[in-house]
Structures are given as C-alpha cells and as structure tokens.
Amino acid sequence: MPAEEFVAGWISGALGLVLGHPFDTVKVRLQTQTTYRGIVDCMVKTYRHESLLGFFKGMSFPIASIAVVNSVLFGVYSNALLALTATSHQERRAQPPSYTHVFIAGCTGGFLQAYCLAPFDLIKVRLQNQTEPRAKPGSPPPRYRGPVHCAASIFQAEGPRGLFRGAWALTLRDTPTLGIYFVTYEWLCRQFTPDGQTPSSGTVLVAGGFAGITSWVAATPLDVIKSRMQMAGLKQRAYRGLLDCMVSSARQEGLGVFFRGLTINSARAFPVNAVTFLSYEHLLLSWG
C-alpha cells in the first residue's frame, strides 16, 4: 500500500488547518450560540474579550489530530482509486479515472476519516465554545482546562461512547460530501489542463479552493446538526437523536438554521483547501 499519500495528506492537512482555524472558531460559535449578530459581530466580540488568542482556541489539538485525519482521507482515497482503477497517483494524469470511481473513492475516504475525526472534532467544538477570557483572576475557571482534560472529563462522565457524541451526524456529513469534494477537484483540474498533463499550481489552487467550497456548501446543514449534537449535554438542551435535533432546531429557528455558518464555512474553505491540495500535489510530485 503506497504510504506517501498518507504523509503528504498529513503535512498538507496541517498547513491548511492553521490557515483556517480562526474562521472555524467563528463558525462554531455562530452555529451554537445565539449571542452574536453575525460574522463581524462575533469577530469583534471575540477579539475584545479574548484577544487574537480567542481565535486560536483549541488549535494545538487539531494540528496533531485533524492533520492525521486528513492523512487518512487522502491515503484511503488514493489507495481506493488504486484498487478500483489499478493506477498509481503518478499514472492517473495519463489515465484519468472515471468520475464514478473518483466519487466512490472519495466517499470511502470520507467514511473512514469521519470515525477517526469524531472524538477530536468533539473536543475541538467543546473547547471552541468556551468563551471565558483566558485566566482572569476572580472569574470562574472554564469547564475544560485543555484538550486532554476535556477528553478525560467526557470519558469519566460518559465512558468511551461519550467521545463519539455526534459521530453519526459527522459520518453522514462527510461520506457523500467528500465524494463531491474529489469529483469537483478532478473536474476543475481537467477543465484547465490539456489531456495527459499535470495541472499548473494556479489550477490546483483554484480547483482545491472550489472543491472545498462545494463540499462545505453541501455539508453545512449536517454540520450544524453535528455541532449541536456535540454540545448537547452541556449548556444546550439534549436531543433524542439526529432527527429530533433537526426537527426541533428547524421548529424553533426556522429552516435558515441549516445554513448557519455557510458564509464563514465557504470563506474558510477556499484558502484551506487550496493550500491543502497544492501542498499535497507538490509533495507527491517532488517524491516522484
């Protein structure tokens, strides 16, 4: 099983992640809290109360973990394509796989990465939603002191299953939308590249960026539900399941609730995925 794809996926995931984290924090807060009037309001309040550091809450952990998850995504994707089409990453420019194969491989990668991602994503969302300013004397300490403490507290209170809260919604979110992700990327690359040639860096940036946006647009409704189910059990109300969360969110807040965070998700998706694909392709090219 070729391993370079896993390593390239890890490095490129980490690079994309740092760039996207501030957007991600604003997104999670907008989706799960009702105190903000919009993106700008949330940014201003976060900056005022918590300084720039507020935007980077919960980042050290994703860097180590979500980057590994990205490596599962790209590694499984590439190896699934190898199994389906008997072509390696290098051979695929000359013999491009069909979009059906790309979609199936993307869904496979998406499905497997969702399981690795679930506990890390839960911890990220919980930490991002702690809006207390850092270490102010006299103020009550935040519930979680950091990622390890957060994981341990959830584990203690709810057992290992607690760490997989929202995992089902996450799997439903990621399986089809990562199929869409790779199909969009491949399709755009092929539009701007003469047959059999390697796409230029500019093409990879644009195709990666739009692949990220398309995939996130499709993923946003379930992203909202996922984040809410992950917060359930804390301040927020508890839901009986995914469907209950969907129905009661829509009843209370209208259908618009499913598009919360769409703008910020898209704004984040472009740079993150442009950089992820560019570094992924470059690393694989340079390793021959």
Ligand X SMILES: C[N+](C)(C)CCCC[C@H](N)C(=O)O
Closer CB to ligand X, 144 or 181, in the complex:
181
Closer CB to ligand X, 99 or 155, in the complex:
99
- The tokens 């998700």 sit on which residue? 265
Closer CB to ligand X, 188 or 269, in the complex:
269
Pick from 242, 245, 228, 246: nearest CA to 126: 228
In whole angstroms, what is the distance from residue 246 CA to residue 228 CA?
10
Task: Single out the residue of 22, 106, 119, 212 in contact with ligand X (rule: CB under 6 A).
Answer: 212
Residue pair 280/17 in contact by the 8 Å Cβ criterion: no
Q: Is 272 in the site for ligand X (CB under 6 A)?
A: yes
In whole angstroms, what is the distance from residue 175 CA to residue 10 CA?
19
Residues 6+ apart with CB under 8 A from 175: 107, 110, 111, 114
Pick from 97, 125, 140, 91: nearest CA to 228: 125
Q: Is 171 in the site for ligand X (CB under 6 A)?
A: no
Q: Is 97 in the site for ligand X (CB under 6 A)?
A: no
Residue pair 32/236 in contact by the 8 Å Cβ criterion: yes
Closer CB to ligand X, 174 or 186, in the complex:
174
Closer CB to ligand X, 219 or 229, in the complex:
219
Residue pair 60/120 in contact by the 8 Å Cβ criterion: no
Give least dist CB 156 to ligand X, A.
Answer: 29
Give least dist CB 141 to ligand X, A.
Answer: 30
Which residue stretches of 192-236 are H helix? Answer: 201-231
Site for ligand X in 61-90 (CB under 6 A): 70
Task: Single out the residue of 151, 204, 269, 274 in contact with ligand X (rule: CB under 6 A).
Answer: 269
- Cβ neighbours around 178 below 10 Å, total: 28
Closer CB to ligand X, 46 or 184, in the complex:
184
Q: Is 275 in the site for ligand X (CB under 6 A)?
A: no
In whole angstroms, what is the distance from residue 78 CA to residue 1 CA?
10
Closest residue to ligand X in the complex (CB): 219
Q: Is 181 in the site for ligand X (CB under 6 A)?
A: yes
Q: Is 186 in the site for ligand X (CB under 6 A)?
A: no
Q: Is 215 in the site for ligand X (CB under 6 A)?
A: yes
Residue count of the chain: 288
- Cβ neighbours around 4 below 10 Å, total: 16
Task: Single out the residue of 43, 122, 219, 224 in contact with ligand X (rule: CB under 6 A).
Answer: 219
Pick from 94, 168, 116: nearest CA to 9: 116
Binding mask 6-25 for ligand X (x = CB under 6 A): ----------x---------
Give least dist CB 94 to ligand X, A.
Answer: 27
**Can you give the binding site for ligand X, defined by CB under 6 A?**
16, 70, 173-174, 177-178, 181, 212, 215-216, 219, 269, 272-273
